[in-house]
């Protein structure tokens, strides 16, 4: 039994806003299945006394003082924007037309 279904890959692609063709879905579903299966093997090694971790470093409580640092200029901030208007990032229509 595969670790991830093709339908789940379709769902993930939509969430990630990736337009994938049927060929790509078949190809990626197989690859993702292999990756997940490989990671699953690590779980077999993990014993009861090893808690799940989200971070490679055994650190907690890393904070910075509440001090203002210089920001970018608006020109710098907008330099990489595909479109700008009135010193703001211009983005395409957010809501689709009513069906």
Partner 1 sequence: MSTPTVMKFDEALAKFEPVLGIETHIELGTASKMFCGCATGFGAEPNTQVCPVCLGLPGSLPVTNHAAIEGIIKIGLALNCEIVEWCRFARKNYFYPDMPKNYQISQYDEPLCVDGHLEVEVEGETYRIEIERVHMEEDTGKSLHVGGATGRIQGALHSLVDYNRAGIPLVEIVTKPITATEDKAPLVARAYATELRELVRSLGVSDVRMEQGSMRCDVNVSLMPRGASEWGTRTETKNVNSLRSVERAVRSEIERQAAVLDAGGTIVQETRHFHEDSGTTTSGRSKEEAQDYRYFPEPDLVPMAPSRAWVEELRATLPELPAARRRRVQGEWGLSDLELRDVVNAGAVDLIEDTVKAGADAATARKWWMNELSRRATEQGVELAELAITPAQVARIQAMVDAGELNDKLARQVFEGVLAGEGAPDEVVAARGLKVVSDEGALSAIIDQVIADNAAVADKVRSGKVAAAGALVGAVMKASRGQADAGRARELILEKLGAS
Applying CB under 8 A, the residues found at the interface with partner 1 are 11, 15, 17, 54-55, 57, 59-74, 77-78, 80, 85-96, 98-99
Asked if residues 32 and 9 have their Cβ atoms less than 8 Å apart, the reply is: yes
Q: How far is the CB of 39 from partner 1 (least distance, A)?
A: 14
Shorter beta-carbon distance to partner 1: residue 42 or 57: 57
Q: How far is the CB of 57 from partner 1 (least distance, A)?
A: 7
Q: How far is the CB of 59 from partner 1 (least distance, A)?
A: 4
CA distance 14 to 18: 6
| C-alpha torsion 43→46→49→55, nearest 10 | -80
Asked if residues 4 and 37 have their Cβ atoms less than 8 Å apart, the reply is: no
């Amino acid at each position: 039994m595969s670790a991830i279904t093709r339908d789940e890959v379709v769902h993930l692609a939509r969430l990630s806003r990736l337009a994938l063709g049927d060929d790509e879905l078949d190809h990626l579903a197989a690859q993702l299945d292999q990756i997940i299966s490989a990671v699953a093997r690590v779980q077999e090694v993990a014993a009861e006394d090893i808690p799940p971790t989200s971070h490679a470093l055994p650190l907690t409580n890393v904070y910075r003082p509440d001090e203002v640092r210089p920001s970018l200029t608006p020109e710098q901030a907008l330099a990489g924007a595909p479109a700008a208007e009135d010193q703001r990032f211009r983005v395409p229509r957010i809501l689709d037309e009513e069906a």
